[in-house]
């Protein structure tokens, strides 16, 4: 069973956390399941960038991004080569280390 290490984030998980994940789950679903309230304003439909994450380790093991996700990522704050939308990044069988960016482009928190 793969493990995801969420690096410390001042508001969402100050200590960081390591959690078990199921193959095929999205990074966002794992985060939400373990109490990390990553924004997801579009309800996981790949129509916003609020669930943008940076995969520091294990990026190549994820499912490939599609053109829609790539287009959305172009609008994300702090875009990096290893950026993904958490709602689209499906976990394979390799461990991941994930950073949640400090900011999103959302002006107001949705409070999911």
With contact defined as beta carbons under 8 Å apart, do 49 and 104 qualify? yes
Q: Which pLDDT score, from 0 to 100, does residue 106 have? A: 64
The string of pLDDT tens digits covering residues 97-106 is: 999 998 877 6
With contact defined as beta carbons under 8 Å apart, do 110 and 41 qualify? yes
Nearest to 20 by CA among 33, 36, 38, 4: 4
How many alpha carbons lie under 13 Å from residue 85 in its C-beta half-sphere? Answer: 26
The string of pLDDT tens digits covering residues 63-77 is: 999 999 999 999 998
Q: Which pair of tokens denotes residue 98?
A: 């994930």
Indicate the pTM of the whole model. 0.91
d(CA 47, CA 95) in angstroms, rounded, equals 27
The string of pLDDT tens digits covering residues 12-55 is: 999 999 999 999 999 999 999 999 999 988 999 999 999 999 99
Q: Using the predicted structure, report yes or no on whether residue 109 has a pLDDT greater than 70.
A: no
Q: Using the predicted structure, report yes or no on whether residue 112 has a pLDDT greater than 60.
A: no
Nearest to 82 by CA among 73, 91, 71: 73
């Amino acid at each position: 069973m793969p493990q995801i290490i969420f690096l410390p984030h001042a508001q969402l998980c100050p200590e960081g956390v390591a959690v078990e994940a199921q193959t095929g789950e999205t990074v966002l679903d794992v985060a939400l399941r373990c109490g990390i309230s990553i924004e997801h304003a579009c309800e996981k439909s790949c129509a916003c960038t609020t669930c943008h994450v940076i995969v520091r380790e294990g990026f190549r093991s994820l499912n490939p991004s599609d053109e829609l996700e790539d287009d959305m990522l172009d609008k994300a704050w702090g875009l990096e080569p290893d950026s993904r939308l958490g709602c689209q990044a499906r976990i394979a069988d390799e461990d991941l280390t994930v950073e949640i960016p400090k900011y999103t482009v959302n002006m107001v928190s949705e409070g999911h």
